[in-house]
A and B are shown apart, each in its own frame.
Chain A
């Protein structure tokens, strides 16, 4: 089945550091990937849609200069949290689905990345 790999699974770093999180589709190509954020005991909140070869589309209230997204290939999207601060500490999850024409394919999720900013 379709597998999405996310790396790293856990990051602890100092305030002011930039952190890059990778999301890979291992056995399929994905033109579009999604990045979500999840606070403890809360739901997943869509942050942005990552589009291969073009700019990401950000949801309202998400700072694009804070959360840089790059989707350079059909199997890799990266989320960089720039100059991270404690309030950016959260669980970040990506998802992707195989490219299909005229079809709304279900999403496959990565394991998530727990980011802790000290």
Chain B
């Protein structure tokens, strides 16, 4: 069965501290993994995808097939990073259909 698990509902850190938002997945095949972010009162937007292997707003995520994980990391959190973060999975040739994790609310305190 396809599943995305984000074990933390809320993650609270201080500004400048490292951040790691956890994401594990279950999929029988080669999925594509995404991180979406939703800032307060804004629409859901793509943060990054594993095939791009790029850093956006200081965030990175590496796909670990052995551990079936796609954790999101940032070395130094900023207050403007406070938002809801969703990990999502899309199967190959599924036309973009996304399976979302439960979401993690990141709160960065000054």
Contacts and interface: CB of A to CB of B under 8 A. Distances in A.
B95 interface: yes
Given A104-B32, A106-B34, A46 B96 contact: no
Interface residues of A, number: 21
B57 interface: no
Contact of A32 (B34, B93, B96, B100): B96
B88 to A, nearest CB: 8
B36 to A, nearest CB: 8
The prevalent SS among residues of B at the interface is loop
B95 A111 contact: no
A106 B49 CA distance: 8
A108 B43 CA distance: 9
B102 interface: yes
A54 interface: no
Given A104-B92, A106-B34, A43 B100 contact: yes
A104 B49 CA distance: 11
B45 interface: yes
Contacts of B96: 32, 34, 95, 97, 104-107
Given A42-B103, A49-B97, A106-B34, 9 more contacts: A42-B102, A43-B86, A43-B100, A43-B102, A46-B97, A104-B96, A105-B96, A106-B46, A109-B43
